[in-house]
Amino acid sequence: MSFGAGEIISYRQMCDQENASLQRGMNYRLSPSHSVVLMSVRSGAPYDDEVLDDGRVLLYEGHDVPKSKLNPIPKFEDQVLENSGGSLTENGKFFEAAKQFKDGLRPPESVKVYEKIKSGIWAFAGTFSLIDASPKQSGGRKVFKFKLMLVDLMPPFPVDPNAQPYAIQLSHNRIIPSAVKLAVWKRDKGKCIQCGSEDNLHFDHILPFSKGGSSVLVENIQLLCARHNLQKSDKLI
């Protein structure tokens, strides 16, 4: 069973879905079909992940070198693409995939994104395409930034230069900011507002995004279980 965008899940459910114990944020080719990243834009998060363009684009920060005797404070060290033995780090694997896409050598890497809401509580943000990667200076050191775009906003690969401009599809809910998700979770007490269920919850737009509803207003977001979310969708069709 796959998750829908905005669905609230536990850490165990996330690991079961990916058939892996997810201990790190970047997981290249966790399966033959996709990679996985874990993100957080909460205050105090260890990395500077960003949500841009009203949720259509994510800017994901690469990961630091492991803490060791040689690197006791990883935040003081440059992020790297290769390990000391020459093999690619997770940064390196994602960077190479982005470079090959930009060079027209391969389709964009498909990346499933999970966002941490609070301890033990996650939300499936959706499936994105890795379209760019670049080094940046941040706090006196080099970090890598990976640009991810919603899959349903990407044109077919390879891109036909003579094709008409690609029509943006709005079937995918735009990402709801973490602060809004956390406020909604607290307000609705982690339960479906219709029936009180604590299972299969979703962050739902009261006024759908496609009809002008906002993703950044707490007042326009509510918790619904899968059953009531589906019932609402049926009424909107």
3-state SS record for 16-82: HHHCCCCCCCEEEEEECCEEEEEECCCCCCCCCCEEEHHHCEEEEECCCCCCCCCCCCHHHCCCCCE
Pick from 144, 171, 128: nearest CA to 90: 144
- Whether residue 38 contacts residue 49, with contact meaning beta carbons closer than 8 Å, is answered with no
**Cα 176 from Cα 39, distance rounded (Å):** 13
Share of the chain above pLDDT 90, in %: 64
pLDDT tens-digit map of 106-155: 999 999 999 998 888 999 988 999 999 999 999 999 999 999 998 865 55
- Work out the burial of residue 164: count CB atoms within 10 Å of its CB; fewer than 13 is exposed, 13-18 middle, 19 or more buried: exposed
Mean pLDDT of 178-204: 91
Averaged pLDDT score across all residues of the chain: 87
Of 174 and 115, which is predicted with more confidence? 115
- Work out the burial of residue 87: count CB atoms within 10 Å of its CB; fewer than 13 is exposed, 13-18 middle, 19 or more buried: exposed
Is 166 a residue whose pLDDT tops 50? no
Is 175 a residue whose pLDDT tops 90? no
Of 60-69, 149-158, 214-223, the least confident: 149-158
3-state DSSP helix/strand/coil percent for the chain, to nearest 5? 25, 30, 45
CATH number, domain 1-161, options 2.30.30.280, 3.20.20.70, 3.40.50.300, 2.30.280.10: 2.30.280.10
Distances (CA, A) of 122 to 90, 92, 135, 188, 227: 22, 26, 28, 16, 20
pLDDT at 38: 96
Q: How confident is the model at residue 170 (pLDDT cuts 50, 70, 90)?
A: very low
pLDDT at 178: 77
Q: How confident is the model at residue 212 (pLDDT cuts 50, 70, 90)?
A: confident
Q: How confident is the model at residue 172 (pLDDT cuts 50, 70, 90)?
A: very low
Q: For the chain, which residues make up each domain, given as ranges?
A: 1-161, 176-237
- At 139, phi and psi to the nearest 5? 60, 35
- Work out the burial of residue 173: count CB atoms within 10 Å of its CB; fewer than 13 is exposed, 13-18 middle, 19 or more buried: buried
Q: How confident is the model at residue 156 (pLDDT cuts 50, 70, 90)?
A: low
DSSP 8-state symbol, 143: E
pLDDT at 167: 39
Is 177 a residue whose pLDDT tops 90? no
